[in-house]
Amino acid sequence: MPIIDNHPEMDRVTLCGPLCGAGFKFVPAYAEAAADLVIDRRTRINTDFLRIDRLLKK
């Protein structure tokens, strides 16, 4: 399950889960978003559909 987000409790941790085999074509955008999150704690790329919150909702 692909995840790219800041950790909800640890502000110095960025989560980057794996992409599927067909997801290799998205790696450049995925890597750019990951770098943005690590450096700025936010990204200009819409990653809402990859946030950890979607898995933590009850």
pLDDT on residue 24:
85
Please report where in the chains the tokens 């998205």 appear, as a residue: 26
Please report where in the chains the tokens 């409790």 appear, as a residue: 9
For residue range 11-53, what is the model confidence (pLDDT) as tens digits?
Answer: 999 999 888 888 888 899 999 999 999 999 999 999 999 999 9
What backbone phi and psi angles, to 5 degrees, belong to 49? -75, -5
Structure tokens at 9: 């409790």
pLDDT on residue 9:
92
pLDDT on residue 41:
94
Cα-based angle 20, 25, 26 (whole degrees, multiple of 5): 80
pLDDT on residue 42:
94
Long-range contacts of 18-23 (CB under 8 A, 24+ apart): none
pTM of the model: 0.80
